[in-house]
Amino acid sequence: MEQINKPISSVRPCFLVQGNLITLPRGHVDNCVRVISSDGARTLETARGHCAPVTCLALSPDSNYLVTGSRDATVLIWRIHRASTSLSRTTSEPSMGSGTPTSTSSNTLANILADRSRRRRIEGPIHVLRGHLGEIICCCVSSDLGIVVSCSNSSDVLLHSIRRGRLIRQLVGVEAHAVCLSSDGVIMAWNKLLNTLSTFTLNGTLITKARLPFSCSISCMEISVDGQSALIGLNLCSENDRTSDNSKHLKSEKSGIGDDNVESYETNEDNRLEIHPPSICFFDMHSLKVFHTLKLSEGQDVTALALNKDNTNLLVSTADKQLTIFTDPELSLKVVDHMLKLGWEGDGLSPLIK
């Protein structure tokens, strides 16, 4: 198999899970997006549209749209269909009524083609989004807002419409290495060089910003479904990454790029966050103030996280090959109480019923 020399890095996950299906796009040398079954690891469908390897992807909250970014500096919008589990027999059986054999055969062929079209899980690409000058490093999409947000290393954050695929806004001067979009239309952006988190309206107006310690690096970030809070995975930044980021920062200062952003961040001394990695931090989306922190052990760098829709369970993957589920204590007690009412007994309950 052909190797890809340039590493693909992104704060967003490299795969998406929907029911018993896994969308696994990143890094394929044939520049495709693959849908793989989780039970047998079979490739169910392959979708092609990019001219270079896929670097990031995102699924809309209602699972109707998939967006993929690539090294070809484009973002593609795909429509997602929920494939039916059983096929209709009427599409394959000829009509028993009167009619010529030619019309019956023609209708049957049309029905088969229509059925195959309905069975496709990924339709498209329905739009090709342009405007970036380099590799797409992060993207996100909202069906309710009708917006796709994307960022790259060499251009500003861009907003495109889902309906027409047109560029509707450019956040001039906003350099981001990761972006998230809330249900309320708030964009959260992370600047790796300045180590800052910022929130913007869809019109590009800055809401608030916060600076993280330069010893920290964000590995992943998510926004709750209600759009009121955000959570990020913080890891200890390596010396190589720190040196590389500092050199890029100095180059941008010498070239005069981002001077206004640097000055504005340095004047905001009140929102400097003191966080010790590795940890998972919960932020208020409107103020970017930390209201809760989950401290992890040394060596447990966060690699991925996922929050369920009602904000009661958090799944965290760490570098020591562990999966940890953090649960709302009130929900845990309700589950235990329900299990006890059903007559369940076991040693696992002994610490709770002492």
Confidence (pLDDT) at 211: 92
Question: Which pLDDT score is estimated for 242?
Answer: 53
Put simply, whether the predicted model's pTM sits higher than 0.85 gets the answer no
**Three-class HEC string of the chain:** CCCCCCCCCCCCCCCEEECCEEEECCCCCCCEEEEEECCCCCEEEEEECCCCCEEEEEECCCCCEEEEEECCCCEEEEEECCCCCCCCHHHCCCCCCCCCHHHHHHHHHHHHHHHHHHHCCEEEEEEEECCCCCCEEEEEEECCCCEEEEEECCEEEEEEECCCCCEEEEECCCCCCEEEECCCCCEEEEECCCCEEEEECCCCCEEEEEECCCCEEEEEEEECCCCCEEEEEEEECCHHHHHHHHHHHHHHHHCCCCHHHHHHHHCCCCCECCCCCCEEEEEECCCCCEEEEEECCCCCCEEEEEECCCCCEEEEEECCCEEEEEECHHHHHHHHHHHHHCCCCCHHHCCCCC
Which residues, listed in sequence order, are joined to residue 69 by a DSSP beta bridge? 56, 75
Sites in the chain below the pLDDT cut of 70: 1-29, 83-120, 239-270, 330-339, 343-354
C-alpha distances (whole Å) from 12 to each of 79, 136, 245 are 20, 12, 20
pLDDT at 42: 82
Answer yes or no: are the C-beta atoms of 325 and 313 closer than 8 Å: yes
**Topology at the third CATH level for domain 16-83+114-341:** Methylamine Dehydrogenase; Chain H (2.130.10)
pLDDT of residue 307: 85
Q: What is the pLDDT of residue 263?
A: 36
The domain locations on the chain are 16-83+114-341
